[in-house]
């Protein structure tokens, strides 16, 4: 008798770009999941065991524990090859380019949009009750983010998606822009028209759009009120949580 496939649990906040990336990829694959919507600063000791760097997302399926969005997305493609692919099916060069764009997004875009802007402007005051680094925010807005957008403007397509249909590379890039908006930053569509239009196409796709109500529900409340707000919005929350009531620093806290 065939054993049922264990359900997928995602640990991580809807507002995290890396969690958003994994959830959008799960949507492309047509896979159901439950979610424990904690931020890493509120993770308990068991969370630290599952994610030694105290970062999100974490995927649990039965005895399988995966940490890091890129690892999770690669596993999804290998574990569910009969479902829509996340990487382009064309040439090895296309797949290599998709992996590079994912890496660029995860590393450089994560650094400037999240740690230099969103964390300093939104997370730091909300979690630690003190202002973020104003000089770091200014450098991100004036120098670092424009350099990223200059690069993307030359790499992104004028129409459609990078490799035909929405895939991992598109998702990895677009996932940072809701956080930019939460921090008050919008792309200048006159200066970067291709990038602005590409991001709007991606975020309008059902894989992203279905997450927006949960992000809005979460961003409006304190961490302590998050689960109730998300339940009211219809989010597929797990019964178990790895969260604490008070925050604690992690290895990667900046």
Q: Which has the closest alpha carbon to 41: 31, 56, 28, 29?
A: 56
Distance CA 124, CA 181 (A): 16
Over residues 115-136, the mean pLDDT reads: 88
- d(Cα 84, Cα 9) in Å, to the nearest integer? 20
The reported pLDDT for the residue numbered 253 is 44
Q: What is the pLDDT of residue 3?
A: 56
**Helix locations, 53-167, DSSP H:** 69-79, 92-104, 124-128, 134-139, 145-155
- Contact assessment for residue 149 and residue 117, using Cβ atoms and an 8 Å cutoff: no
| pTM exceeds 0.85 | yes
Cβ pair 9, 34 in contact under 8 A: yes
pLDDT for 6 equals 80
Cβ(200)–Cβ(212) under 8 Å? no
* Residue from 147, 191, 206, 198 nearest 177 by CA: 198
Q: Which residue ranges make up each domain of the chain? A: 8-85+212-233, 92-207
Residue 130 DSSP label: S
Which DSSP state fits 161? B
Q: What is the pLDDT of residues 45-80, one digit of tens each?
A: 999 999 999 999 999 999 999 999 999 999 999 999
Q: Does residue 226 surpass a pLDDT of 90? A: no
Q: Are 240 and 58 in contact (CB under 8 A)?
A: no
Query: What per-residue confidence (pLDDT) applies to 252?
Result: 46
Q: At what angle do helices 145-155 and 193-204 cross, to 10 degrees?
A: 80
Please tell me the distance from the alpha carbon of residue 99 to that of residue 120, in angstroms, as a whole number.
Answer: 28
In b/e form, how buried is each residue of 101-113, taking b as 16+ CB within 10 angstroms?
A: bbebbbeebbebb
Cis peptide before 233 (omega within 30 of 0): no
Distance CA 192, CA 204 (A): 18
Instruction: For residues 25 and 37, give the distance between their C-alpha atoms in angstroms, rounded to a whole number.
Output: 17
Question: Do residues 156 and 169 lie in contact, with contact meaning Cβ atoms separated by under 8 Å?
Answer: no
Q: Are 144 and 80 in contact, with CB atoms under 8 Å apart?
A: no
Check whether 245 has a pLDDT greater than 50.
yes
Section 119-147 average pLDDT: 91
What is the arithmetic mean of pLDDT over 185-195? Answer: 98
Position of tokens 């630290």?
A: 48
The fold adopted by the segment(s) 92-207 is: Glutathione S-transferase Yfyf (Class Pi); Chain A, domain 2 (1.20.1050)
The mean per-residue pLDDT over the stretch 155-168 comes to: 97
Nearest to 250 by CA among 55, 56, 10: 55
Q: What is the pLDDT of residues 14-52, one digit of tens each?
A: 999 999 999 999 999 999 999 999 988 888 899 999 999
Secondary structure class of 13 (helix, strand, coil)? coil
**More confident: 91 or 224:** 91
Query: Domain 8-85+212-233: which topology?
Result: Glutaredoxin (3.40.30)
pLDDT the model gives residue 211: 98
């Amino acid at each position: 008798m065939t054993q049922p496939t264990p359900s997928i649990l995602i640990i991580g906040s809807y507002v995290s770009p890396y969690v958003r990336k994994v959830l959008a990829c799960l949507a492309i694959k047509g896979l159901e999941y439950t979610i424990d919507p904690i931020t890493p600063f509120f993770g308990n000791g068991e969370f630290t065991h599952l994610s030694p760097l105290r970062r999100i997302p974490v995927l649990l399926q039965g005895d399988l524990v995966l940490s890091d969005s890129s690892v999770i997305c690669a596993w999804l493609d290998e574990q569910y090859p009969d479902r829509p692919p996340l990487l382009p099916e064309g040439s090895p060069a296309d797949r290599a380019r998709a992996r590079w764009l994912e890496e660029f997004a995860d590393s450089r875009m994560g650094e400037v949009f999240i740690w230099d802007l969103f964390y300093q402007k939104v997370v730091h005051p909300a979690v630690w009750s003190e202002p973020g680094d104003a000089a770091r925010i200014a450098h991100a807005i004036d120098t670092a983010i424009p350099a990223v957008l200059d690069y993307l403007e030359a790499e992104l397509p004028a129409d459609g998606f990078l490799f035909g249909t929405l895939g991992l590379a598109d998702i990895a890039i677009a996932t940072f822009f809701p956080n930019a908006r939460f921090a008050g930053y919008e792309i200048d569509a006159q200066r970067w028209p291709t990038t602005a239009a590409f991001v709007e196409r991606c975020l309008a796709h059902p894989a992203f759009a279905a997450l927006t109500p949960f992000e809005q529900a979460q961003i409006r409340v304190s961490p302590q009120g998050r689960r109730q707000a998300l339940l009211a919005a219809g989010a597929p929350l797990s019964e178990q949580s790895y969260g604490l009531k008070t925050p604690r620093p992690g290895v990667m806290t900046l």
